[in-house]
Amino acid sequence: MEKGDSDIQDKNNQVKKIYFYLGKMMLGCGLAVLMAACGAARKSVAVETPPSPYDNRQYDYYYTEAVKQKILGNHDAAYTLLQYCLDLNPKSGEALYDLGLYAIYMQNDSLGVQYLERAAALEPDNIWYREMLSGFYLSRSEWGKAQTCLEEMMRLNPKRSDVLMRLVSLYQNDKKYTQAIDVLNRIETLEGKNLQISMDKYWMYMQLKEKDKAYAELQALANEFPNDLSYRVVLATQYMSNGELDKAKQIFDEVEQKEPDNQTLRLALMDYAQTIKDDSLYQANLDRLLFGEATDASTRLRVMKDYVSQQPQDSVHSAQVRATFQRLLADPRSGADMWMMYAAYQTVKKDSKDSIAVTLNKVLELEPDNKLALQELIMINIKKQDFQGLIRLCQKGVQYYPDMLVFYYYKGLSHYQLDEQKQAIETFELGLRQEKAPGDEGMVSDMYSILGDLYHEQNQNEKAYAAYDSALVYKDNNLGALNNYAYFLSLENKDLDKAQEMSYKTVQAEPDNVTYLDTYAWILFLKGKYAEAKIYMDKIVAYYDKEPQTDKEKENRESINGGVLEHAGDIYFHCEEPDKALEYWKKASQLDGASDLLEQKIKQKKYIAP
């Protein structure tokens, strides 16, 4: 960062602190505003074109036709007609201007700026041409040319504050502080004194080492608003920041005598106390702001947030912060925002989920539609697997935010986990009728996938398959949908080619997933590809037969049920390994999930088709 940039940053930091004292948002007078104004200039130019100054019937006819074609959206035709207009009259500013806009739109900036510069040169008093040209220069960071253009615009219309502010920013960037102050004085004449202009002038005088003039600006602001003592406090804070503590204290004392409940004063005194390292003075003003009757709710929130952020993270200071929160929350004036801030603090401090939930429930008592509190409580209940609690919370979410899919998703999922299939189906169907927001695709796909499972359990197979199709439209690699769709098709021994294709995608994505391997092996078995099915089944039984060494191996072993081992026996039997088949049928009989035919297979020692 260059020194000039550092100076500007220091200035912006000072202004931010002043606005924190006053509880206002800083408007800013830097490059960001300059560029935003540039965007506004472009927009205004695009909708208004100056009239033709030429009394030429042929030219007027073609130019009018060009404008018509542009309005109709026929830009190729409009561009061609404008070029012809320029052939008819090479000094047509309006044709040059329009062609310049087209060239820039087509990303031919060098040609576009040539057209615009010619138009502005031909009609130097046309402010629209200057506006577009200045916007182009600003977008290309050609500050010198932009400055010249804006100076011309100021000459043409000295009362446009937006142009003047852009010029101030350029002068400031170029360290032309005297010129910038002159322009700020013009703005002040147009709009009257305000804090932003006075602070800008103060800062620029300080850069010019003219401290007396800098302080005079803030004194003039305070004189302009004698009934608002906050401006006197602003002057005091600048004395304080420059090390002139006696002058600052004198003003603080004067304001305190006249207006002891002035919140700007209390905030500034907290800074003053930290500067002189007076902890008791700091605490006294903090208490006055947080617990005083005169402090409004928004100021209490700002002060508490700033106080928490400044405290060290050791146990002693953490205890002090908690004690301050407890005092605040015991005050009936503390609303949902203060409780929400405490919940955030508890989260940072890694408090128990139960204690955070108590705080968040208090937020909902005060503000039942607090979206953030609802969402945080939902996440806590998910981790606790409290499905009844989830249903209650999500019902509130659906009530207050009926267009948010996440509440339907977790409510339906909770019903599903509680085996409340009818309620789960109703919830998912209702949610899927809502308008889908960008980014919801994965959740929509999962909802359709679970619906497919539910429909299948209700023996509504065609509805199940339609739901899986919808799931795959929203997310074509939804592995759960692909696996279950394929497996249920295999149970009906239908569309096995489609089932194999879907199942193979899951095996490719997760080659060690026992559930996916079993589905794929079983589909191959049904298609008579026994040797190939055995390759995949061997991987599954290897997980079952050996002692797991990793969490993943343990998870795979635990996911193998009687149905999987029965499939293993069926496959081994058809691969002419009857002894191995009988071994796995017997192992299957010791687990849940096997078919009703398993006992006969073991007794007869052979495969029995369903």
Query: 41 is written with which tokens?
Result: 């200039």
- The residue behind tokens 């302080």 is 215
Q: What is the 3-state secondary structure (H, E, C) of 245-305?
A: HHHHHHHHHHHHHHCCCCHHHHHHHHHHHHHCCCHHHHHHHHHHHHHCCCCCHHHHHHHHH
- Residue span(s) of the chain under CATH 1.25.40.10 come to 51-122
Distance (Å, whole) CA 410 – CA 390: 7
129 vs 120: CA distance, rounded Å: 6
- Calculate the dihedral angle through the C-alpha atoms of 474, 480, 482, 488, rounding to the nearest 10 degrees: -130
pLDDT of residue 9: 57
> At how many degrees (to 10) do helices 3-22 and 161-173 cross?
130
Q: Which of 454, 396, 400 is nearest to 423 (CA)?
A: 454
Taking domain 296-384, whether its CATH number is 1.25.40 is answered by yes
pLDDT for the residue 42: 32
Asked if 229 and 21 touch (Cβ cutoff 8 Å), the reply is: no
Burial level of 55, CB count in 10 A (0-12/13-18/19+)? exposed
Quote the pLDDT of residue 50.
46
Global model pTM greater than 0.75:
no
**Which pLDDT score, from 0 to 100, does residue 247 have?**
95
Q: What is the mean pLDDT of each run of 10 residues along the chain (610 residues)?
A: 51 57 43 31 37 64 92 92 91 92 90 92 90 88 88 88 90 93 93 94 95 96 95 96 95 95 93 94 93 90 92 86 94 94 94 95 96 96 94 96 95 96 96 91 96 96 96 96 96 94 96 94 94 93 86 86 92 93 92 91 90
pLDDT given for residue 610 in this prediction:
83
Residue 579 half-sphere exposure, CB side, CA atoms within 13 Å? 0
Distance, in Å, from the CA atom of 596 to the CA atom of 553, rounded to the nearest integer, reads 29
pLDDT at 513: 92
What is residue 552's predicted lDDT score, i.e. its pLDDT?
A: 84
The whole-number pLDDT of residue 572 equals 93
CATH class of the 51-122 domain in this structure = mainly alpha
CB–CB of 408/426 below 8 Å? no
Q: How far apart are CA 445 and CA 356, in angstroms?
A: 32
Q: What is the DSSP letter of 434?
A: S
What distances in angstroms separate CA 216 from CA 11, 200, 205, 230, one per listed residue? 18, 13, 10, 16
